[in-house]
A and B are shown apart, each in its own frame.
Chain A
Amino acid sequence: MKLRVLVAGMVSTALLLSACGNEAESDGGDNEISLWVQTSSESPEGQAMQGSVEKFNEQFKGTYTANIEFIPRGGGGGGYEDKVNAAVSTGTLPDVLTLDGPNTAAYAESEIIAPLDGVISNTEDLLPSIVEQGTYEDEMYAVGYSESSVGIYYNKEMLEQAGVDLETLPTVDEPWTWDEFTQLSEKLTDYYEVPAIDMGLNDNSEWLMYAFSPFLWSQGGEITSEDGRQAETVFNSEANMKAMSFLQHMLNNDYTTISPAENGFETGQYPMKMSGSWTMEQLDTNYQDIDYDIMPYPVSPDTGELVTPTGSWQYAMSTATENEEGAGELIDFLTSTEAVVDISLANSVLPSRYSAIEEIEDDVSPQMNTLIEQNEASGKARPVLPEYPQITRSFQQTISGLPYYEDQAGLQELLDEKAKEMQTSLERRE
């Protein structure tokens, strides 16, 4: 009897401990390079990655073998980043890992990823936004393998019907100012009696930072000071007030809305939509009736400078690697022109290298080329800050808070409050 109790206790304890046990890490010595990526092996992106890794193994046969492990992320990047965080605590990071652009600073500051001095060949071929995104304190830590951009999608038929001459619409070389864009929105709103454009303002997520920060930059504003220590007086500056006034004006006049109808543009209810390259694929596969084109971002009337969103996932070398050379070779290979071309075509994303742009220009749609051209000319990376999560949240709340402040005084109050919040976040860890 006693024995049985004892055995039962031991068995359950053993079960418990084995459930908590770690899976063994694949650390196969000098030749094997482990790689973690955030996509699923089923996705077009994952398959392109797999293909590039196979090519790498072919080329470096006998020298290195790269093993790719797919760790699909949940909504908001959760699953993958949790795994990276856990690996940091247990010291089980792979040799090479992927990370989202805004994480560069935090990972570099915490010495999770190592500088890529002299590892990447042909760095001048990389788009400036890619270099900017992967650089922390003057050193390059990560390289984006693709790029992204946002444009103003418009329904050609709806614009023509409302009396807009499509020939007069802006181009990347001659973008429209906010005033001109507001006039178009007014015309469309009056004609169709719905918001002229769905700007994705119901999406309280990174989208708001990604898509709306370029308006500030176009006006000459900034989110934090250059050294990333100051947000008060920087975020609530006059320039940012002007940029936010443009958005506030769009909202107050119902040219856009915080609660757009589901798929309003895709189903022909709204004449315009502000969105990224991913919408193109959706339109081409699910909503083929919509005859659309893309125009560039509107710009500040004071500066006329076109600034547009960018951002991508990147490859970086973990500081835990014992095979720096092999890991470096792998990153260089995965961000080479060939690999970038492969992933751009497979996943309908923008290329991160000039040479790759040249190669695919003729193979992609004119709409995609507009975005590529815009990205090349005006892409700007989001701030590279260790405190990025808090800064982006305050920024997102500023944008989603706009509809609740009617006038200039209210807007100033909102910006002051959020600037203070950002300042607190910047100082919290000091």
Chain B
Amino acid sequence: MDLTKKQTRLKRWEGWKSSSLAFQAQPFYFLLPAIILLGLFLFLPALLTIYYAFTDYYLLTPDQRQFVGLRNFTQIFGDPVFLRSLQNITIFVVGIIIFQVGMSLGLALLINKQRRGNIFLKVAFFSPVVMSLVVISVLWLYLLNPTDGLVNSMLQAVGINAQPFLTSPNQAIYAIILVSVWQGAGYQMLIFLAGLQNIPGDVYEAARIDGAGKWKSFLHVTIPLLRPTTTLIVFTTLIAAFKLIIQPMIMTQGGPLNSTMTPIYYIYQTGFTDRLVGYSSAMTVVFGLLIVIVTFVQRRFAKEDL
């Protein structure tokens, strides 16, 4: 008897739930602030950018903008600076993925063991992450000064010739990779550290019983078990790396000879310095699409880990 009562009550409740508009609308009240914020600062600007990409919007004459069809897009693919910036960002992203992920894994392994001074190392490795990128760029600008910088003095002390670093079209982008890795690796290190500490000790024990040495257990236990962590790190690092702008802006202004010009920096320059908002929006759309494609490809490859 009791049971049927409960059942009818439940049915009535469910009936109300599915029919009442007020109830169904309830979750949207909770979402409202987020939706408004996202709409104003993400969706609306994104849609406007797509619209502007097809216009000749000039920053100083917003009222006179006209629809120009695909003109901006045809110009982009003949723009040597934009094409060069894509080349540069490819080098940068590949460099960052290899060195930053490698470096952060190395650092995580280093501080994963219990030993004296661990806290100091942890803080030391992580501290560049909390520093402003502008400060770090200026700092490295001094360190990498070809004439009286610290790095060259150290190189010369061990018998290596002074290097031009940021003033060389061949070295500048790598110098920026170095600085970025130094700055960013501490963050991924912490994620790797969490991943490492999640690997149960008995797996290592089993490996040891099976006769695996340190290197073998790293290769066959640590690496495979860190796979989900690695995937996550590669994902987030990759997207962040595409957005490179501050380091070249402060350290090289995109030079020498556009060797450190990045897409975002060029988009910023054409939009705000040259005032060609339409053209700049078109580049944003193209670059945005490229990132979307890269992300999709990446998801395909990493399906099982996500």
Contact = CB atoms under 8 A, between A and B. Distances in A.
Interface of A: 2, 5-6, 8-9, 12-13, 16, 20, 82, 85, 88-89, 106-107, 109-112, 202, 204-205, 257-262, 387, 389-390, 393, 397, 400-401, 403-404, 421, 424-425, 428-429
B62 A2 contact: no
B253 A204 contact: yes
Nearest to A400: B255
Contact of A106 (B60, B148, B164): B60
Given A2-B26, A6-B29, A9-B33, A429 B276 contact: yes
Contact of B167 (A106, A109, A259): A259
6 contacts: A2-B22, A85-B59, A88-B59, A112-B60, A401-B256, A429-B276
B36 A397 contact: no
Nearest to A401: B257
Nearest to A405: B257
Contacts of A400: 255-257
Nearest to A1: B26
A212 to B, nearest CB: 15
B62 A88 contact: yes
Query: What is the predominant secondary structure among interface residues of chain A facing chain B?
Result: helix
Contacts of B80: 421
A13 B36 contact: yes
Contacts of A107: 60
A154 B258 CA distance: 33
A370 to B, nearest CB: 29
A336 to B, nearest CB: 29
Contacts of A424: 79
A204 B56 contact: no
A220 B256 CA distance: 28
B215 interface: no
B75 interface: yes
B61 A110 contact: yes
Contact of A429 (B33, B56, B62): B56
Nearest to A107: B60
Contact of B274 (A5, A202, A390, A397): A390
Given A262-B145, A401-B256, A428-B75, A389 B22 contact: no
B279 A428 contact: yes
Nearest to B27: A5
Interface of B: 22, 26, 29-30, 32-33, 36-37, 40, 56, 58-62, 75, 79-81, 142, 145-148, 164, 167, 169, 252-253, 255-258, 269, 272-276, 279
A110 B60 contact: yes
A5 B30 CA distance: 7
A257 B60 contact: no
A253 to B, nearest CB: 17
A266 to B, nearest CB: 14
Nearest to B274: A389
A107 B56 CA distance: 17
Nearest to B22: A2
A417 to B, nearest CB: 8
B169 A404 contact: yes
A111 B60 CA distance: 9
Contacts of B164: 259
A150 B4 CA distance: 96
A6 B40 CA distance: 20
A107 B32 CA distance: 41
B32 A9 contact: yes
A403 B40 CA distance: 47
Given A5-B29, A13-B36, A429-B58, A261 B256 contact: no
B20 to A, nearest CB: 11
A377 B178 CA distance: 49
A202 B252 CA distance: 9
Most buried by A among B26, B75, B147, B255: B147
Nearest to A257: B147
A82 B60 CA distance: 11
Given A258-B167, A262-B145, A397 B258 contact: yes
A13 B33 contact: yes
A240 B40 CA distance: 50
A259 B60 contact: no
A88 B60 contact: yes
Nearest to B164: A259
Contact of A397 (B40, B75, B255, B273): B255
A13 to B, nearest CB: 6
Contact of A389 (B75, B79, B258, B275): B275
Contacts of B62: 88-89
Contact of A16 (B36, B272, B274): B36
Given A5-B26, A389-B275, A204 B36 contact: no
A261 B146 CA distance: 9
Given A85-B59, A89-B62, A390-B274, A397 B22 contact: no
B73 to A, nearest CB: 13
Given A106-B275, A258-B167, A259-B146, A397 B257 contact: yes
Contacts of A9: 29-30, 32-33
Contacts of A390: 274
Contact of A259 (B36, B145, B276): B145
- 8 closest A-B pairs by beta carbon, nearest first, are A110-B60, A12-B33, A204-B253, A5-B29, A9-B32, A259-B146, A389-B274, A389-B273
